[in-house]
Amino acid sequence: MLDTLRLVSPDQLGKMVCFDADSRDFDPTRVPAAPDHRFIDGEHTRAAALSDCTLCLRICAPNAAICFYDDDIIAPALREIVSDLRRRAISARWCQPRSDKSQGRS
């Protein structure tokens, strides 16, 4: 992922911190400040998506954007997450960008 981002904006990579870890074992104190944005390119399983979201809700700033990569693969888990957040009166929106697959690219 970082190699691709480096092609887009090499001078901005210092703004990003990447953690390659299972969110169930992640120590939240490793995050120095509550992030406003989280990009998750996870394990692509229901359990991992739910765990990743749980961690994000613990460490993110209020109204943070939590973005999951490959949403088409984990769509059932994302529907469950959004439904649960709405039940808890936490604002949630599932925005699906047009995928590369729908534009004839893979």
Report pLDDT for 98: 58
pTM for the full predicted model: 0.75
Count of other CB atoms within 10 angstroms of residue 57: 15
- Structural contact between residues 16 and 5, judged by C-beta atoms closer than 8 angstroms: yes
Residue 45, pLDDT above cutoff 90: yes
Is residue 97 very low, low, confident or very high in pLDDT (cuts 50, 70, 90)? low
Report pLDDT for 101: 53
- Structural contact between residues 59 and 30, judged by C-beta atoms closer than 8 angstroms: no
Domain residue ranges of the chain, discontinuous segments joined by +:
20-94
Region 51-61: what's the mean pLDDT? 93
The residue among 78 and 93 whose pLDDT is bigger is 78
Query: In the chain, what percentage of residues exceed pLDDT 90?
Result: 45
Tokens of 65: 């954007």
The residue among 97 and 4 whose pLDDT is bigger is 4
CA 36 to chain centre: 11
